[in-house]
Amino acid sequence: MATSLLVLLDDIASILDDVSLMTKVAAKKTAGVLGDDLALNAQQVAGVKADRELPVVWAVAKGSFRNKAILVPAALLISAVAPWLITPLLMLGGGFLCYEGAEKLAHKFLHDSKEKHAQTVQNLSGDPKQVVAKEKEKINGAVRTDFILSAEIIAITLGTVADADFTQQVVVLSGIAIIMTIGVYGLVAGIVKLDDAGVALMQRASSAAQRFGAGIIWFAPRFMRTLTIVGTAAMFMVGGGILTHGVGVLGHWIENNAELAAELPYVGTVLGGLLPTFLNAVIGVVAGALILAAITLTGRLRRR
């Protein structure tokens, strides 16, 4: 009996070692998407009232956990029953990300104005119902975006553990889902409270702490504006990347051009690394513009 127990413990240790290794590999492969996820979610909660920032982040984090509670079992089921469905579903999600990015740009450059923005701020500050509605809209938008990015993270992780047994797949997918969610929304919570940390430091007696706090207050709004730009760009890069990987011809064309660029003297290494990202973003912009035009045209035809 004691021997059987030792064998069981050895098997468990071996499984945990394999799971740990596969989790590390999956985490490395999904690190790029994690960065995009962080930028996008920090962008989504920008503009929320200071006293509502953490509740909004918590609401989005709960939505992210719900997303992954749906995606992990669904990914395992699809992988077992219809693995060919994974790529088309990811491409739908990539198209949606490109559409959301194009919609943000269209709203920014075609529909928005300083007067309209000022009027909106005035209305929101005076009507609590509008404030609540705007907050819910931001939360829902962030949860929708998180669903697409989470699906890509789960799909990449699933590809990493495709040859493992079912138990290891479940443990690795669940571990990545939990670690990524806690990591992303912990960082988002820290980012949105940077200005509060700066105010707290400025109230200290130490002049060094006050200067550091003033620097944080100067840095925080500029950092948030930068994240807004990076978040929108990430929509095109991630969405375009999903589309190009789904369309074999485009994916091979980008890889071939990246290899040719990498052979150039002096700048080849840098250019070869950046070119795929740039081309994915361009394709994402074009795809998003086409989808937005199609949806807008369809809406106008329906209204007529």
Residue 223: its pLDDT value, please?
79
Whether the model pTM is above 0.75:
no
Range list of β-strands (E), the chain: none
Instruction: Check whether 18 has a pLDDT greater than 50.
Output: no
117 belongs to a structural domain: yes
The Cα–Cα gap between 300 and 1 comes to: 75
Contact present, 209 and 21 (Cβ < 8 Å): no
Contact present, 216 and 198 (Cβ < 8 Å): yes
219 belongs to a structural domain: yes
87 belongs to a structural domain: yes
Cα dihedral 293, 37, 149, 55 sign: negative
SS3 188: helix
Closest-CA residue to 287 (of 238, 242, 240, 229): 240
Going by the DSSP 8-state scheme, the letter that residue 253 receives in this structure is H
Tell me the average pLDDT of the chain: 75
Residues spanned by the domain of 53: 20-303
The Cα–Cα gap between 262 and 274 comes to: 10
Q: Please count the structural domains in the chain.
A: 1
CB atoms within 10 A of CB 217: 17
Closest-CA residue to 174 (of 62, 23, 13): 23
Consecutive H or E run containing 304: none
Instruction: Check whether 274 has a pLDDT greater than 80.
Output: yes
Give Cβ neighbours of residue 191 (< 8 Å, ≥ 6 apart).
Answer: 42, 223, 224, 227
The Cα–Cα gap between 56 and 58 comes to: 5
107, amino acid identity: H
7 belongs to a structural domain: no
6 belongs to a structural domain: no
2 belongs to a structural domain: no
14 belongs to a structural domain: no
9 belongs to a structural domain: no
The better pLDDT of the pair 41, 15 is held by 41
Residue 112: its pLDDT value, please?
55
pLDDT, mean of residues 141-159: 78
The Cα–Cα gap between 173 and 162 comes to: 11
Q: How confident is the model at residue 40 (pLDDT cuts 50, 70, 90)?
A: low
CB atoms within 10 A of CB 111: 8
Consecutive H or E run containing 140: helix 128-160
